[in-house]
Amino acid sequence: MSNIKWNSKLNVEAGFLEAKDPAVGYPAAAADAAKPKLSPTDAQTLLNLIWTLTYTEQGRKVLKENRPKKAHNGVVVTEDQVRTNLTKWIKDFGIHDSTVVQAVVEAHIAADAWIAEKLVDGVDQAKYEKIYQQNVAVVTWMLWEDAMGHEFSMNW
């Protein structure tokens, strides 16, 4: 068992929000008014986007409808169409950083290619797996960056 000494002031010094303000108590009107509020764009973090795409019916539908080279309702979409469709959807969701949008879109395309190639004999599956892993690593790093931001500790 470790003997970690918890510093209760660390989160205050790092700029994160506290649920309770020890100076005036919470929820007090004065303390409430002084605390930053979520704006609609703060609520749409990368973590929220990934969760929505992974766990909601709407998100799963968007990903399934945008699988390159797969027919959906009789229409086959190209990788460029997937990029256009997902970029628009993600920006409508509230993520506007083009680097983040591109990383999420490319990770989806890489995942689909890796799965498709797993089903074909004689294909260099390791190559597609590495491409997918690299794309997921970029998104994971971006999630870490997002988590280190001060908005992450807000009630998103």
Phi, psi of 44, deg, nearest 5: -95, 70
pLDDT band at 37 (very low <50, low <70, confident <90, very high): very low
Q: Which helix (H) or strand (E) covers residue 5, if one does?
A: none
Same domain, yes or no: 11 and 46: no
Same domain, yes or no: 22 and 86: no
- Which among 5-9, 12-16, 37-41, 52-56 has the top mean pLDDT? 52-56
Same domain, yes or no: 126 and 55: yes
Quick one: CA torsion of 66, 146, 55, 36, rounded to 10 degrees?
-120
Interatomic CA distance for residues 138 and 126, integer angstroms: 18
Q: Does any domain span residue 1?
A: no
Same domain, yes or no: 14 and 76: no
Structural domain of 51: 40-153
Q: How confident is the model over 39-79, as pLDDT tens digits?
A: 444 446 788 889 889 888 888 999 999 998 877 778 888 99
SS (H, E, C) 46-88: HHHHHHHHHHCHHHHHHHHHCCCCCEECCEECCHHHHHHHHHH
Task: Answer yes or no: are the C-beta atoms of 142 and 100 closer than 8 Å.
Answer: yes
Q: Does any domain span residue 45?
A: yes
Taking the complete model, does pTM exceed 0.75, yes or no?
no
Length in residues, the chain:
156
Same domain, yes or no: 29 and 46: no
- Asked if the bond preceding 27 is cis, omega within 30° of 0, the reply is yes
Confidence at residue 7, expressed as pLDDT on a 0 to 100 scale: 54
Q: Does any domain span residue 2?
A: no
Q: Does any domain span residue 79?
A: yes
The residue-averaged pLDDT of 19-35 equals 46
Question: Would you state the structure tokens that stand for residue 148, as one six-digit string?
Answer: 């280190």
Interatomic CA distance for residues 29 and 114, integer angstroms: 54
Same domain, yes or no: 32 and 65: no
Same domain, yes or no: 60 and 137: yes
Same domain, yes or no: 21 and 76: no
Same domain, yes or no: 135 and 59: yes
Of 81, 90, 130, which is closest to residue 110 (Cα–Cα)? 130
Q: How confident is the model over 69-117, as pLDDT tens digits?
A: 877 778 888 999 999 999 999 999 888 888 999 999 999 999 988 888 8
